[in-house]
Structure formats: structure tokens, C-alpha cells
């Protein structure tokens, strides 16, 4: 039977990425070897874990290693492992297409990174396309792989020159695992020689020294000749060569699991390189926690807080950063059971010696040891955040504040602790973060509530008409611009005994309405409501406005305008809720409309003015008008008449 062979075209977006990688002038091309070694290490992790339940899957091939074979004559570089390997379908899925961490996000990130080539390695690693980094140094890549448990010699070959297509075919391979052969590009004058053993040694030592499996390479050594092979003179002194060149397989890495060592024995550079290996993030981490717990249960943990938010932080396919081990045996990556969603950006390793190697996710959720580890890790992380200096914490919050605040809504037991770590820009501090503790400390003597307003733009919130009276009274207002804040205020109804109150909903009770003046406006307000009754539920005097003519508000439990906007943006239809049109009775425009209404109730302009008041209120809060053309024409007509 003829072996199956197919040729496929890369998808357009994949080809875009390949073109960028192939044509990149990025100077540190060492990344390709780091990424390929990481992939090989992951493959061995997986087969080693699978062997716990299927011991026979390893056969006689039980000595795990990653072998590097540079060839200066052929200008090739080969890396092979005896890991889990891949089937035909898995090669198509994993190598023929971009990893599922978000192609669209990757391309968007590339667009943002234009002109900043140093971002390329970070993007390559974070988006799961490390394999493609080999095209930085290779004209052609050939991959041959045999899956663990495959029928005798059954294997798959994948090959591409990165020119827009690749071939995939059935082939044979004697042993389990994957072999990748790079046909190296012609070496430029300033390029490293990746076939030179000392170059390879240096890269492995710097980037992959802590990989748990031997990284080996055949190296040439000078070894002494046996005495009987040495030519000597009559005085028994050597007159010829005393050594010979021999090839020996040498292990290039120390294989020390960094998390099992004493923190005092680990250098900063080692911590940093392990972080890069673990996270595929080229930036150094912001903070780290190296923890050793001893007692009735013992486990080691090494956690990192990144300095930059990963590009897939808010994508559905995002992965948690915690790898779970037991006695240095890999169990699983993406271990959500050890870290809540609001800490999903934390990277690291947990090694629990008493954990069952065959543990399932269902068991993990109930395992007392896992629950204990999670509790202790959270405590240490919160302690680390609380003790950060202000500058570092502000940098952290710029990157991860929006994610951390998710915990206020999703983790009631930590609501107060996370709320104390939350920071906001305010009407009195638009350039610096303010904590809720500092807000409460700075409240006016006659201020009973913590005021806030939600929206998507800081400048729009800062100039919102809803805040005019609050500013006049010198009350500080929290400016909440993260979508998650809408859920925060649903859960965090008070802080330090002070209720949280929306500046755009409910009655602010800032000033008493002049009842006699309100009485004089009742007829006009009734007329406006009658004309706009399909869009609003009430027209009333405003206690919010000082300089503006109109604004829209809601009842205390109504959905905010920003929440409606978020639901619409996500494709959901918000419930029909009519809002209140508030008018400033002290504004000359409202006074003149009242005078016109009282002198000529049948004047057709009154309906136009009613609509214009509503449109102005919508525009002032950043909303969208049903008929912006009508609004533009009405404003133009008013300007014309005013100038006449």
C-alpha cells in the first residue's frame, strides 16, 4: 500500500507570521534552540506521565534525553527526543497551523510591535509558535515523529521551506519521539555559527541548563593514546602524537530542578532563565516567590509575577501558568486548581511529593493537599503584593489590576483583601492611582458615601455632567474605566463602613430641590415627558448639574449606561430600561424653553427642543444617538439663528 503524502498551503495569517520570522533581523537568534529544547522537554514530560498509567508504552526506550547534532560540513542542525511523539493528525493540528492561543491576537500584537524587533521573541513564545522560530536560522525544516504506542516503525514526516506550503507524509522511524532537522541558512559575517560546539554549549548553558532531562551532543575530544600505540625513541620518549581525536556524547546541562534547591543557592540569572523557559516570556519577571513548605505535608513552589501582561490574558483560550509536579515528575500544566482565575497571570511550578501521580482534575478539586497548597500560595501572593513599594505596585497594577479586581466578584472570601489592593484614578488624582483606604481617609467631614462613576474613557468621565455638583462640594469621585468594575460595584457595596454610590444612578441628595420652583416647571416637564415617553420614564429637576443643561440618570438598581454598552458590544441584548432625563432648572436654556412653553404651547419648536435636550444628555455621557444627522441639523439651525 502506497504511503500517504499531502501538500498543504499555510493559512494567510500563518504565512504572515512566517514571513515576519524568516525576514526578521532580530539579533538574538538563540531563541530557536531554547524553544525547540523546551518543546522536546514538554514531549518527554508527557510520555513520562503517560507511562505512570501505561508502563508498557516506553518499551525498552526508558533513558530519556534530548540529543543535539550540529554538522558544520552539511550545514545542518538536528534535535531529537524520545518523548511522546505525534500522530499524523496531531502533526497537522500542531505544526501545520498556529497554536490555538489566538492567531488574531498574535497578528494584532505584531502590528503593535512594528519597529520594535525586540518584542518578537516574546510574541513567538507567548503565542505558542516557538517551533516556527527555527525559520530564523533555517532555509528548510524537516520533522520526523513517531507517536508513543504507534504500530511498529509507523511515523510521520513534515517538511517546509517556509515558502507558503508544507508537505506531510507517512514514513518510518525506528524509535518513539521526534527528530527535527534544520538546513541552516548561509552564515553571514556577523552571524553565530550554530554548528560550532562551543556556541551550542553556551546557548544551552544560558537558556536550558535546568531542563530536567540530559541535553547531549557528540563532541570531539583529545584523549591520550594507549601507551603501546605511542611511538618512542630509544630513550623511551614519545616522538609522535600522544593523543587522538575521538567523539564522545556529552551532557551539556546540569539538570538541577531549580525549585528543589535552596533559594540561597540559586543566582538571579538562573531564576530569570528558568522563568523564560517556563513562560516563553523574553522580559524579566517583576517579582518571584521561592517557597519551601515543611511539616505534615511538604512541597516546593517557585512562582513568578511577570513584568508585562501576556497578550492572551483576556482570550478564552488563555492558559494558567502553574505547572504541577510530584517528586519532579510532571503531572500537568495549566493547573487551574492551584490558582484562582484572578491570579491566572502568575507563572510557576509546584512540586508536591505526597500527590498521587495519577490524579485527575476531578480529584484535584477535592484533594485536601491541593486545597491547602492553594490557600498557602494565595496568602504568600497577597503578602508579596501588600509589601511591594509604591512604584513597583503601580507598575504591577497597570498590567494586572483589571484581572486582580475580578476576584472581588468571584471570590467572596477574599473580597475585602482584594478591594484594599484595588486602585483608581479620581477627580482629584487623574494621573496617579488612589487606594480605597486613601479615599476614605481623605473624605470630607460631611461626606457619607464613596462616589464612583463607570465608563470606558477617563477624559469623558472626568468631564461628565453627572459630577458637577459633586465637584462643587469638593467630593472626590472614583473614575472606574475597566469593564470588570461594573461587576465590582455589584459585589462591593461598601468599604470600611462607607456605602459605594453611583454618581449617575439614584438620588444623590446633595441639595434640596426648591419645591416652589419645581412646581413652576411641572407643566413643561410633563410636556417633554409626553413627547419623549417612548425613550424616557421621567423628567425631573437635577441635583447633579451645575453648568450643563441636561443629563440622563437611572434608579439606584438600574443598569448603568456603561453596562448596557458592554452587553451590546458582547452581542447580548440588555433589558429594556428607560432612564430619567434630568434638567438644570437654573440653566438659561431651560428657563427660555419654559418661557416659550408658557407663551406659545403650540409652537412646533418645543418638540424639537425636547428632542435636542435628550440628544445633548446622551452625547454628554458618550452615548450613541439614534439619529445623529437630525442632531447635527438642529444644532446647525440654532447656530445660524443665533448668529443672525
pLDDT at 276 over 70: yes
Confidence of residue 510 (pLDDT cuts 50, 70, 90): confident
Task: Band the pLDDT of 243: cuts 50, 70, 90.
Answer: confident
Tell me: is residue 100 an annotated ligand-binding position.
yes
As a whole number, the mean pLDDT across the chain is 87
Q: 522, 644, 542, 524: which is closest to 595 by C-alpha?
A: 524
Cα torsion angle, 497, 501, 506, 507, sign = positive
Confidence of residue 101 (pLDDT cuts 50, 70, 90): very low
- 86 annotated among ligand-binding-site residues: yes
Q: pLDDT grade, residue 568 (50/70/90)? A: confident
**Does position 116 have pLDDT exceeding 50, yes or no?**
no
Please tell me whether 178 is known to bind a ligand. Answer: yes
- 128 annotated as ligand-binding: yes
Has residue 312 got a pLDDT over 50?
yes
Q: How far apart are CA 644 and CA 638, in angstroms?
A: 10
- Euclidean distance between CA atoms 252 and 67, whole angstroms: 10
The more confidently predicted of residues 190 and 160 is: 160
Is residue 154 annotated as involved in ligand binding?
A: no
Given this model, what pLDDT does residue 442 score? 95
Query: What integer is the mean pLDDT of 387-415?
Result: 96
Contact criterion met (CB below 8 Å) for 351 and 325: yes
Q: Which residues are bridge partners to 77 per DSSP?
A: 70, 182
The reply, when asked if residue 293 is annotated as ligand binding, is no
Residue 136: pLDDT band (50, 70, 90) is confident
* Domain architecture of the chain: domains with CATH: 14-251 (3.30.565.10), 258-387 (3.30.230.80), 422-502 (3.40.50.11260), 515-643 (1.20.120.790)
Residue 24 pLDDT more than 60? no
Average pLDDT over residues 115-144: 68
129 appears as a binding residue in the annotation: yes
Is 126 flagged in the annotation as binding?
A: yes
Question: Would you say 28 is a known binding-site residue?
Answer: no
- What is the C-alpha separation between 343 and 42, in angstroms, rounded? 23
Place of cell 506550503: 165
Band of pLDDT at residue 126, cut at 50, 70 and 90: very low
Quick one: pLDDT band at residue 201, thresholds 50, 70, 90?
A: very high
Predicted confidence (pLDDT) at residue 119 exceeds the cutoff of 80: no
Between these two residues, 362 and 51, which has the higher pLDDT value?
51
C-alpha 362/C-alpha 175 separation (Å) is 34
Helix (H, G, I), strand (E, B) or coil at 246: strand
pLDDT at 118 over 70: no
- pLDDT score of 587: 95
Range of weakest confidence among 60-69, 216-225, 335-344: 216-225
Q: Given this model, what pLDDT does residue 2 score? A: 65
Q: Point out the least confidently predicted range of 113-117, 263-267, 615-619.
A: 113-117
Query: In which band, very low, low, confident or very high, does the pLDDT at 96 lie, cut at 50, 70 and 90?
Result: low
Higher pLDDT, 590 or 509: 590
Q: Is 39 marked as a binding-site residue?
A: yes
pLDDT interval class at 239 (50, 70, 90): confident
Question: Residue 286 pLDDT more than 70?
Answer: yes
pLDDT at res. 348: 94
**Is 35 one of the annotated binding-site residues?**
yes
- The three-state secondary structure class of 107 is helix
How far is residue 54's CA from residue 231's CA, in Å, rounded to a whole number?
Answer: 57
> Which 3 state secondary structure label does DSSP give 114?
coil
Residue range 244-274, pLDDT digits in tens: 888 889 999 988 888 988 999 999 999 998 8
Which has more pLDDT, 590 or 103?
Answer: 590
Does residue 94 have a known ligand-binding role? Answer: yes
Helices 31-50 + 268-279 axis angle, to 10: 70
Mean pLDDT of 568-576: 82
Amino acid at each position: 500500500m502506497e504511503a500517504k503524502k499531502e501538500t498543504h498551503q499555510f493559512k494567510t495569517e500563518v504565512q504572515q507570521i512566517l514571513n515576519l520570522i524568516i525576514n526578521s533581523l532580530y539579533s538574538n537568534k538563540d531563541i530557536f534552540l531554547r524553544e525547540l529544547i523546551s518543546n522536546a522537554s514538554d514531549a518527554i514530560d508527557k510520555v513520562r506521565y503517560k507511562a505512570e498509567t501505561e508502563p508498557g508504552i516506553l518499551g525498552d526506550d526508558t533513558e530519556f534525553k534530548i540529543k543535539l547534532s550540529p554538522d558544520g560540513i552539511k550545514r545542518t542542525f538536528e534535535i531529537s527526543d524520545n518523548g511522546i511523539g505525534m500522530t499524523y493528525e496531531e502533526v497537522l493540528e500542531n505544526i501545520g497551523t498556529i497554536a490555538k492561543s489566538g492567531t488574531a491576537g498574535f497578528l494584532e500584537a505584531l502590528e503593535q510591535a512594528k519597529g520594535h524587533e525586540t518584542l518578537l521573541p516574546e510574541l513567538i513564545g507567548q503565542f505558542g509558535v516557538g517551533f516556527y522560530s527555527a525559520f530564523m536560522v533555517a532555509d528548510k525544516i524537516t520533522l520526523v515523529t513517531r507517536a508513543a504506542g504507534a504500530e511498529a516503525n509507523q511515523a510521520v514526516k513534515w517538511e517546509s521551506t517556509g515558502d507558503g506550503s508544507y508537505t506531510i507524509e507517512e514514513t518510518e522511524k525506528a524509535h518513539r519521539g521526534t527528530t527535527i532537522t534544520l538546513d541552516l541558512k548561509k552564515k553571514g559575517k556577523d552571524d553565530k555559527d550554530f554548528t560550532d560546539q562551543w556556541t551550542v554549549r553556551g546557548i544551552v548553558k544560558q537558556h536550558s541548563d535546568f531542563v530536567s532531562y540530559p541535553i547531549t551532543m557528540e563532541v570531539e575530544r583529545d584523549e591520550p593514546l594507549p601507551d603501546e600505540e605511542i611511538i618512542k625513541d630509544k630513550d623511551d620518549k614519545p616522538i609522535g602524537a600522544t593523543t587522538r581525536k575521538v567523539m564522545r556524547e556529552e551532557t551539556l546541562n546540569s539538570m538541577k530542578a531549580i525549585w528543589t534547591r535552596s533559594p540561597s543557592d540559586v543566582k538571579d540569572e538562573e531564576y530569570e532563565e528558568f522563568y523564560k523557559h517556563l513562560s516563553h516570556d523574553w522580559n524579566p519577571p517583576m517579582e518571584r516567590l521561592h517557597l519551601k513548605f515543611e511539616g505534615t505535608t511538604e512541597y516546593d513552589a517557585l512562582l513568578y509575577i511577570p513584568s508585562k501582561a501576556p497578550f492572551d490574558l483576556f482570550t478564552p483560550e488563555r492558559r494558567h501558568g502553574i505547572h504541577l509536579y510530584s517528586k519532579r515528575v510532571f503531572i500537568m500544566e495549566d493547573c487551574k486548581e492551584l490558582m484562582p482565575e484572578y491570579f491566572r497571570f502568575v507563572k510557576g511550578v509546584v512540586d508536591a511529593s505526597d500527590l498521587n501521580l495519577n490524579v485527575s482534575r476531578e480529584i484535584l478539586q477535592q484533594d485536601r493537599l491541593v486545597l491547602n497548597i492553594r490557600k498557602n500560595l494565595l496568602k504568600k501572593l497577597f503578602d508579596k503584593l501588600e509589601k511591594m513599594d509604591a512604584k513597583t505596585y503601580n507598575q504591577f497594577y497597570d498590567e494586572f489590576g483589571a484581572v486582580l479586581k475580578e476576584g472581588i466578584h468571584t471570590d467572596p472570601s477574599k473580597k475585602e483583601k482584594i478591594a484594599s489592593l484595588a486602585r483608581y484614578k479620581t477627580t482629584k488624582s487623574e494621573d496617579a492611582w488612589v487606594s480605597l483606604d486613601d479615599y476614605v481617609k481623605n473624605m470630607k467631614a460631611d461626606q457619607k458615601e464613596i462616589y464612583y462613576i463607570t465608563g470606558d474613557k477617563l477624559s469623558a468621565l472626568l468631564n461628565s455632567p453627572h459630577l458637577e455638583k459633586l465637584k462643587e462640594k469638593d467630593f472626590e469621585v472614583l473614575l472606574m474605566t475597566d469593564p470588570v468594575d461594573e461587576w465590582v460595584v455589584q459585589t462591593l457595596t461598601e468599604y470600611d463602613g462607607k456605602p459605594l454610590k453611583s454618581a449617575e444612578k439614584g438620588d444623590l441628595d446633595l441639595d434640596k430641590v426648591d419645591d416652589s420652583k419645581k412646581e413652576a416647571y411641572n407643566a413643561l416637564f410633563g410636556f417633554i415627558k409626553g413627547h419623549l415617553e417612548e425613550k424616557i420614564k421621567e423628567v425631573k429637576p437635577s441635583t447633579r448639574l451645575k453648568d450643563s443643561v441636561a443629563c440622563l440618570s437611572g434608579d439606584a438598581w438600574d443598569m448603568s449606561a456603561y453596562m448596557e454598552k458592554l452587553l451590546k458590544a458582547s452581542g447580548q441584548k440588555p433589558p429594556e430600561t428607560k432612564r430619567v432625563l434630568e434638567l438644570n432648572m437654573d440653566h438659561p436654556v431651560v428657563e427660555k424653553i419654559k418661557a416659550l412653553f408658557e407663551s406659545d404651547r403650540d409652537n412646533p419648536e418645543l418638540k424639537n427642543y425636547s428632542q435636542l435636550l435628550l440628544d445633548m444628555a446622551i452625547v454628554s455621557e458618550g452615548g450613541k444617538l439614534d439619529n445623529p444627522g437630525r442632531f447635527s441639523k438642529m444644532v446647525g439651525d440654532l447656530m445660524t439663528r443665533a448668529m443672525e
